[in-house]
Amino acid sequence: AQKVTQAQTEISVVEKEDVTLDCVYETRDTTYYLFWYKQPPSGELVFLIRRNSFDEQNEISGRYSWNFQKSTSSFNFTITASQVVDSAVYFCALSVLNFGNEKLTFGTGTRLTIIP
Amino acid sequence: NAGVTQTPKFRVLKTGQSMTLLCAQDMNHEYMYWYRQDPGMGLRLIHYSVGEGTTAKGEVPDGYNVSRLKKQNFLLGLESAAPSQTSVYFCASSYRVGTNEQFFGPGTRLTVL
């Protein structure tokens, strides 16, 4: 069975501070994909990134960066120089390639509040 | 492209009433999903479909039924609503599971009194 743990339920930081959202996953499969989604106050879920289990390179996209470490089963998300628009609930998710049992398993989310 | 749309956006039901939530996607995706989102629980998969005419149970299927008669539509039915089904329901679609991201609809907020 797959499991995703986001231990940080809520985080508040002052604008322009850096913040890291933690994600720890569990799976016995060797081929899997990890995702981050953002859910702003408007409610829709917005895809941020996908990473497969064979690619441990860190990725940077503007102020966002992701650190994937298979050794610790973690896929952490860092926002640099946070802005008020970053306030949202962020979900980490895991998908395995298991024909007949394919689904995306979500963590419980981290609510990030950026204080102006 | 409208992406993924959901109808209705809000609904209030009384216990025992029935209703159908409609999800439509215009991206020609094979896979479609229904999730429910509850405070502190994240998103949990109710049912999903890997193609027209096929459906499968997810993590929390009890009390719900689904149908995928057309590739672009995925219906979620509540035959006899219960207060425990008060939730926000999200529909999603993807080209295929695993390798591709899921595109989500705007959600339906359902309250069962």
Of A43, A47, A108, the CB nearest to B42: A108
Res A85: pLDDT: 96
Residue B98 has pLDDT above 80, yes or no: no
Answer whether B102 touches A (CB < 8 Å).
yes
Answer whether A52's CB lies under 8 Å from A1's CB: no
At a CB cut-off of 8 Å and minimum separation 6, what does B35 contact?
B43, B44, B45, B46, B58, B89, B90, B91, B92
CA distance B14 to B12: 7
> Distance between alpha carbon B21 and the CA centroid of its chain, in Å?
7
Res A98: pLDDT: 66
Average pLDDT of chain A to the nearest whole number: 92
Closest Cα in chain B to A38: B104
CA angle B9, A45, A53 (to 5 degrees): 145
- At B19-62, the pLDDT tens digits run 999 999 999 999 999 999 998 888 999 999 989 999 999 889 99
Res B63: pLDDT: 96
* Residues forming a β-bridge with B24: B5, B73
Res A83: pLDDT: 97
If pLDDT is split at 50, 70 and 90, which confidence band does A102 have? Answer: low
If pLDDT is split at 50, 70 and 90, which confidence band does A81 have? Answer: very high
CA distance B23 to B20: 10
Answer whether B99 touches A (CB < 8 Å).
yes
> How many CB pairs lie under 8 A apart between chains A and B?
53
- At A6-52, the pLDDT tens digits run 999 999 999 999 999 999 999 998 889 999 999 999 999 999 999 98
